[in-house]
Amino acid sequence: MDEKLISKKKPAYPIHSMLSDYLTMYGRNIKIPIFYEDLLRYQGAVEIYDEEGNDTLWLSVYFAEHERDEIELSLKRIYTILHVDGSDSALPYLNIDSIDYCTFGNSKPFRIKVRNILNDNYQLLYIKKADASRIYGLELEHMLSPNYIHFLVYKDTLIEEHISGIPGDVFLEKHLDACSIQDKKALAKEFVKFNERCFVRLLGDMRSYNYVMVLTHDFDRIQYRIRAIDFDQQSFEGNSKVYKPQFLKENNKLVEMTSNMLREESIEQYKREERSLLAKRATSEQERLNDLLDCMKNDIISTPEKMKQLKDELFQLTSDVNFKKSKSMGDILSSALDFIIRNYKNVNPYIIR
């Protein structure tokens, strides 16, 4: 796929009042004791390398002594707000092991490693500059995917939980070739479903380093799930192929494996399965989803040129006139979800009408 199809630098879109009210209504908008800008006051940094000596593009940062204690206490409080009950009772048992800063990508996050000193277990959380596109992407992932997402927003700061898994690019390079035929078939099925889910909900730029492979050991096999970890490209690009991971060259090994492992009839079956699941999730989350889509319809999260290109391409693909009538990216996404819900209800004879 031509790299020009993906914008080199997507602008960050502000959180407008309607989206802020939505986040407050659903418990995402919570006062936190530290802002993203506070962490930018670090005094120095050391480059972080992986086990093979490659630059990870992360920096381990440190702060002036007079600020360090206050910053670490605030980060512990953020952890308790996100994962516990927000009280101070757990604070004595928490330690901030590291604060890292990423120099790559749009969001330039800070990664915080929080360790429980009682059992030596740790969890990661990320602090980023809030971007409306990413927040829409996180909320849609929470409602329309098999995965729940925990995040908090306060003004211009976004707090996200860590999504565990093997980075997609690492898995493709180091693990895919060693998979059994059965595992490759399971992976191929999951890639088809992931591809369809991204396309319907308009999540773009799922190159291999923007998702992780989650492996769950069942009693007689390994179950695979692909989870997105980057949501900056939610409903932004105009070319519809950007929303299909199969067209991104970083995923070529998965695409080739899928074509070798699955017959065309199976691929179509898995696509229908995923559309059906999306329709069920959208229906069960109808009130909350409609509230979010109302925010998107009244928000600007792309350019007029990209919006026109996308709605024209989706109209050519589906012949659904609702795409032609769309006036925003929120309208386009709403039309896409309505399209699969209508089709699901029309073809399922067991739906009570």
Neighbour order of strands in the sheet with 44-49: 44-49, 55-62, 94-102, 110-116, 122-129, 157-161, 151-154
Q: Check whether 353 has a pLDDT greater than 80.
A: no
pLDDT of 6: 72
Six-digit token string for 5: 């199809």
Residue 175 structural domain: 166-347
- Helices 329-347 and 181-200 pack at an angle, to 10 degrees, of 120
Exposure of 16 in the CB half-sphere (CA atoms within 13 A)? 13
End position of a domain, from candidates 96, 129, 161: 161
Cα dihedral value 309, 313, 319, 322, nearest 10: -40
pLDDT of 349 > 80? The answer is no
In 199-340, which ranges are E strands? 211-217, 222-228
pLDDT interval class at 40 (50, 70, 90): very high
pLDDT in tens, 289-335: 999 999 999 999 999 999 999 999 999 999 999 999 999 999 999 99
Beginning with the edge strand found earlier in the chain, give each strand of the sheet holding 222-228 in spatial order.
Answer: 166-167, 211-217, 222-228
pTM for the predicted model, two decimal places: 0.93
Same domain, 66 and 209: no
The closest alpha carbon to 127, from 74, 88, 165, belongs to 74
pLDDT > 70 fraction of the chain, expressed in percent and rounded: 96
Q: Sort strands 222-228 and 211-217 into parallel, antiparallel or unpaired.
A: antiparallel
Question: Tell me: the pLDDT tens digits for 149-205?
Answer: 999 999 999 999 999 999 999 999 999 999 999 999 999 999 999 999 999 999 999
Assign 103 a pLDDT band (cuts: 50, 70, 90): confident
* Among 145, 161, 177, residue at a domain's last position: 161
Q: Tokens 């739906």: give the residue.
A: 351
CA separation for the pair 133, 193 (Å, rounded): 23
Rounded to whole angstroms, the Cα distance separating 258 from 98 reads 40
Please tell me whether residues 282 and 327 are part of one structural domain.
yes
Residues 136 and 214 in one domain: no
Please indicate, yes or no, whether residues 262 and 220 belong to a single structural domain of this protein.
yes
Q: Specify whether 202 is located in the same domain as 337.
A: yes
Q: What confidence score (pLDDT) does residue 62 get?
A: 95
150 lies in the same domain as 187: no
Q: Determine what percent of the chain is predicted with pLDDT higher than 90.
A: 84
* DSSP bridge pairs for 112: 99, 125
Are residues 158 and 139 in contact, defined by beta-carbon separation less than 8 angstroms? no
CA distances from 21 to 131, 133, 290 (A): 15, 16, 14
Question: What pLDDT, on a 0 to 100 scale, did the predictor assign at position 1?
Answer: 45
User: Domain for residue 1, yes or no?
Assistant: no
The closest of 95, 127, 90 to 114, measured between CA atoms, is 95
pLDDT in tens, 125-149: 999 999 999 999 999 999 999 999 9
| Claim to verify: residue 340 and residue 247 sit in the same structural domain | yes
Same domain, 262 and 343: yes
**pLDDT for the residue 68:** 94
Highest-confidence range of 7-11, 81-85, 88-92, 235-239, by mean pLDDT?
235-239
User: Given this model, what pLDDT does residue 4 score?
Assistant: 61
pLDDT at 153: 96
pLDDT tens-digit readout, 41-88: 999 999 999 888 888 889 999 999 989 999 999 999 999 999 888 888
> Would you place residue 351 in the very low, low, confident or very high pLDDT band (cuts 50, 70, 90)?
low
Closest listed residue to residue 76, CA positions, set 165, 159, 150, 139 = 159
d(CA 200, CA 245): 12
* Token output for 244: 């299909």
Looking at the fold, whether 157 and 249 belong to one and the same domain comes out as no
pLDDT (0 to 100) of residue 5 = 65
Report which of 42, 26, 23 is spatially closest to residue 34, judged by C-alpha positions: 42
Torsion-angle region of 252 (φ positive above 0: left; ψ -120 to 50: alpha; else: beta): alpha
